[in-house]
Structure 1
Amino acid sequence: MTLIGKRVVQIKIKSEGDVFHELWKANPHKIPEASPTSIQKCQAHEGEAGTVGSILFWNYIHDDKECVAKTLIHDIDEEKKSVSFKILEGDLLELYKTFEIKVHVDTDGSDNLVTWTVEYEKLSPNVPDPDTLMDFYTKLTKDIETHHLKN
């Protein structure tokens, strides 16, 4: 059994893809406003949101459990509308040796597609693949979409 894995989920959204990308890139502190049942808090720990190398601290609910994560903004690609985060500390590292998250938005007129990709290395073969996290990202995306369509 391999310890290294990758999961991908794609979600069509009706809200503007550029707004979604900008939220993750430069305004992650506003995400709890859009999805308070998933993300309770996001604050800059070091550096400034929207810049590669900045570190963010997250409080979130996953599988009905309060969790935390400290993430490094690893990469921002304006052309591809993607932001990549690397987990530095937190609950996920109790199960995974490494965990990286990429959120990418494809925009084509009114058709927008959000793609979440996670790449990880498990600490042991007994650790489950992060399928429930992919459900978490789907719900989070739908919450953000609903929030933006209302406003």
Structure 2
Amino acid sequence: MGLKGKLISSVEVKCGGHLVHDIFHAKPHHISNICPSKVKSFEIHEGEAVDVGSIVEWTYNDDGKDKKIKEVIEAVNHETKTITWKVIGGDLLELYDSFTVISSFDHHWTTWTFLYEKKTEDTPEPLALLGFIIHVTKDIDCHLLK
């Protein structure tokens, strides 16, 4: 059995967390235009929008290599501006038995929570991925402030 872990990071957003939530919930296909060097594409495989039960796939650049992550949307709470994404396919599952991302958007904060189970003790903590999503969040914030 792997080792369970949890990483949480909050990043200040000057445009307002509700606007960042709107991008991830209603306009995630725009993210590849906002930060094309980081996010290559976004596709909805099942469902019509980012809503509970939808299956989505991201292609992103990780240190010069294109990687994929396929997720099912487990929960969306419009009042608390929270989205729960469970990874069901892609490169992350080579290292982790399970991986869930919870995005939470507050007045001036965006919080990312990673819940995961590593396959082995030698599997690294997903710090690089957390740094990546923080940079994407900052790029979105800058874009929305223009």
TM-score, normalised with respect to structure 2:
0.95
Q: Distance in 2 between matches of 1:36 and 1:15?
A: 20
2:109 to 105, 113, 126: 113
Question: 1:20-71: per-residue Cα shift (whole Å, max 9, x none)?
Answer: 1111112211111111111110011111223100001110012332100111
Q: Which residue of 1 aligns with 2:28?
A: 28
Q: Matches of 1:27 and 1:53 in 2, distance apart?
A: 17
The letter for the 1-side match of 2:124 is: P
Question: Once the two structures are superposed, what CA deviation does each residue of 1:1-21 show, in whole Å capped at 9, x if it has no partner?
Answer: x71000011100111321111
| Cα distance in 2, alignment partners of residues 134 and 58 from structure 1 | 15
Query: Taking structure 1 as the reference length, what is the TM-score of the superposition?
Result: 0.92
Displaced runs of 4 or more, over 2 A: none
The answer to whether the 8 Å contact 1:99/1:121 transfers is: yes
Q: Does 1:124 align with 2:120?
A: yes
In 2, Cα distance between equivalents of 1:35 and 1:113? 20
Alpha-carbon distance between aligned partners in 2 of 1:50 and 1:100, rounded to the nearest angstrom? 16
Q: Note the residue ranges of structure 2 that are not aligned, 5 or more in a row.
A: none
1:6/1:118 contact within 8 Å kept: yes
Alignment of 1:84-103 (within 5 A): 84-103=84-103
Is 1:80 aligned to 2:80, yes or no? yes
Number of residue pairs matched by the alignment: 145
